[in-house]
Structures are given as structure tokens and as C-alpha cells.
Homo-oligomer: A and B are copies of this chain.
Amino acid sequence: MAEFRHDPVHRRWVLVTVDRSLAPRDFVIPPRGHDEGICPFCEGQESKTPPEIYALRTGAPDRPGWKIRVFPNKYPVLDSSSNDLQRKALGQYDWVSGFGSHEIVVDHPRHLMPLHEMGRDHLASLIETYRQRMASLTEEPRYRYFMLFKNHRAQAGASVNHSHTQIISMPVIPRIAAMALSTAREHFHHKERCLFCDLVNLERSDGRRVVAENEHFVCFVPYASRFAFEMAIFPKVHHHDFATMHDDLLGPCAAILEEAVKRLAELFGDPPFNIIFHTAPNPNQASRRANYWGTLKFDWHWHIEIVPRLEKTAGFEWGTGLFINHTPPEDAAAYLRRDPPKNG
């Protein structure tokens, strides 16, 4: 028995297998390979990276003595030094130059230090660093959208094993954000309520998919999760923009993130995963569509997505965009709450 569930934000169906619910033990995580060579992200190897933009540190820049360190990616996907922002039509096709930025945040000086062992204070500093960089990037009016994300382990796309985060600024709104934004905007237009606030309230009152909660944040497994054991973290009070998150939320944000990654580690050891921050498009962007951006603060609600990469994606998912999730979200949440489902 399987069922289709509709994601009300992205307007997509997800197929959830209900009768053959996969438990954590059913997913095989390959062991981590030996880590050879010298890591350019380790403390003491600062000369191997571009000069730092920002760091939490004692002592001079680009030397040891840091807790967290940020520098431009040596191999940027987008960059604004050699590229102008241009938009043009090529006959029937549309084209925009690869204008943007690509930064690396090294999360911790020690090699192979997992996120769930860094400690809550360090995580709060890390989130503060993210906020600082995102706030700084919003000052460039030609950046329209920012993606802050983390690939943990090669199966999740990491090319360097040392724990790090990437921030990419871009001059276009990518599809997933565009779709979610348009749905949320329409919801607000009709109801004068935030779509995400509605979902947060629904999940909190239902409770079956909630993993953890504190004063300011809630973590739950979305109703129509594409991936098994996927989690979403939302601030409980409506706020659109991660870059302007209040100081009071830094500690609780670190606490809920630590809780989420600890639960994953308890169930899977050291699973590959992605963490993705979904924040509003740049509120300072220069755009002729000024009115379009004016209601962002009502439409959007920033949140964090944690996606374990436990299964392969195949032709069916690529061809349809319809994902198959083998662990019903209610079961996944029960395991993550340390309260395994009865049939598990």
C-alpha cells in the first residue's frame, strides 16, 4: 500500500509507501573512507585558501587561531569580479550572465569534527556567522537570491570532507524558491495569513510529525517529505528573513539544529545529509518589479531543511519530479523522537 501526498508549498505530489515502512536499520550507510592528504580547510593550512573575508578568531587574518573562517571559493560557481550582470534574449531563449558570489564557511578548525559534536555554543557562533555573511551579501542590490547550504559526506555531494558550508548569491530566483514564493504569495493574498505559519500551527497541534520543539523553534518531518527522515526547522513567530533574525533566537536556533543532527546521528551513525537554509529573496534588490518584492515580509517565512541522503534517485524521480519516500513521515518522526512506531 502506498499513498500520494500533496506538498502544499511546492504543489507537488510525493508517493509514500505505507505498508513497507523502512526503519533506520534498513538503510545501509557505507563507512567513511580514509581521508588522505592535507586538508586546505584545516587550521594551519590558511595559505592554501583565498584570503579570508570574515573569521571568529584571535590574532591576524589568514593565520591559525580561528573558530570559524569564511573565504571566497577558490573555484566559484558564480563570481562578480570577472562577470557583469547582463540579461538578454537569444531568439526564443533567455540568458543571464553568471554574476554572483560563492563563499565557503569552514565550520570548525578540526578536521572531521561532526556538526552534532561541535557543542551548542559553537553552533550558535556558526549560525551568527551565517547571519553576518547573509546580511552583508544583501547589500549588493544585484543579488536577488541567496542559497546557504551544507553537503555532508561524498554521497551528499561534498568534495571536501572537512565540515563546511557554502553561500551562493545569484541574480535569478531558482525554480524551487520561485514556486514556493508564488504559492505563499497567493495564499497571503487570499487569506492575509502566512502559508508557513498555517503549516507550523497545523503540525504543532497535530503533533504526529513533530520531532523537537523549544521556546522559539519547532522541528518536524513534513507531511509530503520527498526524502526519508527529512526534517524542517521553522521559527515559531513569523519572520521572513534569516539575515535579520533577532539575537535572542541564536541560542534556540543552535539548540534545535543540534537536536536534529544528534537524532540523525543516533539513528544512522554518520549519514550523508544536506542542510539548506530557505530565506526570502534579497529585500534590498534593485528590481523594476518593485511592487512584486514589497510584500516579501508577509509572504515568506524562513526555515531550514535537513535532508538525509539515504537512497538513490533514479529515472522515475528525474522524469516525473515525483519522489518515492519509503518511510512514512509519522514513522520517521517517531524514530527521531526516540519513540519507535509500534510496527517498527
Q: Which residues of A contact B (CB under 8 A)?
A: 1-6, 8, 10-13, 15, 17-18, 77-78, 82-83, 91-98, 147, 149-151, 154-158, 166, 168, 170-172, 174-177, 179, 198-199, 202, 206, 223-224, 274-276, 278, 305, 307, 312-322, 324
Contact = CB atoms under 8 A, between A and B. Distances in A.
A13 B175 contact: yes
B82 A2 contact: no
B322 A174 contact: yes
Contacts of A199: 92
A35 B271 CA distance: 27
Contacts of A320: 147, 174-177
Contacts of A15: 77-78, 98
A13 B170 CA distance: 11
Contact of A1 (B10, B83, B92): B83
The complex is assembled from copies of this chain, and their number is: 2
Nearest to A100: B2
A13 B100 CA distance: 14
A175 B170 CA distance: 25
Contacts of A12: 174-175
Contacts of A13: 96, 172, 174-175
B92 A157 contact: no
